Amino acid sequence: RTILLINGPNLNLLGTREPHIYGSTTLADVVSQAETQASELGVKLENFQSNHEGAIIDRLHEARGNVDAIVINPGAFTHTSVAIRDAILGVDIPFVELHISNVHTREPFRHHSYFQDKAVAVICGLGTFGYTAAIEFAAKHMKIKDR
Ligand code: DQA
């Protein structure tokens, strides 16, 4: 079983970016913790971060047939990207949508997501613990499709 973790734009700045909202844990910390967790759960973890919409789309296309579940924090593309929505639906891989902050307590433009109606689950407001929760859920509870 393989889980693909995708982080979108500006998440490379995690730990230093608006720490009052996103905390002080870095993306490197999140990824190394996720890797440890995945090996404990006996799953393979692939990790990808990009600030570019097209690069995220290309990575999703590569995942087709190779990945069982996706955990994605699309960053600001959550609120703007029909193209990433179409890509994730196009490759037909079940996914968890994840936000570090509680987007519903923030600006109104963050309340809409192009992913929420298609996600198996949406996690927000748990801080970086959301990644741990999402990976555990993906590893233990998401159905594997025949391929
Ligand atoms: C975010 C929330 C988005 O609104 C924002 O654009 C981000 C991060 C989060 O993890 O809380 O970049 O997805």
DSSP tag of 144: P
Query: Which residues are the active-site residues?
Result: 22, 99
Q: For 2-141, CATH number?
A: 3.40.50.9100
Task: Confirm or reject: Cβ of 17 under 6 Å from ligand 1.
Answer: no
Q: Average pLDDT for residues 6-25, to the nearest whole number? A: 95
102, 125 Cβ separation under 8 angstroms: yes
Distance, C-alpha 12 to centroid of its chain:
13
Q: Measuring from atom 12 of ligand 1, which residue has the nearest CA? A: 75
Which ipTM value was assigned to this complex? 0.99
d(Cα 55, Cα 91) in Å, to the nearest integer? 15
Question: In the predicted model, is pLDDT for residue 80 greater than 60?
Answer: yes
Mean pLDDT across the chain:
96
Q: Which tens digit of pLDDT belongs to each residue from 114-144?
A: 999 999 999 999 999 999 999 999 999 887 6
Q: Average pLDDT for residues 47-73, to the nearest whole number? A: 98
Say if strands 69-73 and 121-124 run parallel, antiparallel, or are unpaired. Answer: unpaired
Quote the pLDDT of residue 144.
Answer: 65
Q: Tell which atom from ligand 1 comes closest to the C-alpha of 101.
A: 11
Quote the pLDDT of residue 91.
Answer: 98
Q: Average pLDDT for residues 85-91, to the nearest whole number? A: 98
Cα of 146 from ligand 1 centre, angstroms: 32
The confidence band for 39, taking pLDDT boundaries of 50, 70 and 90, is very high
Task: Confirm or reject: Cβ of 6 under 6 Å from ligand 1.
Answer: no
75, 9 Cβ separation under 8 angstroms: yes
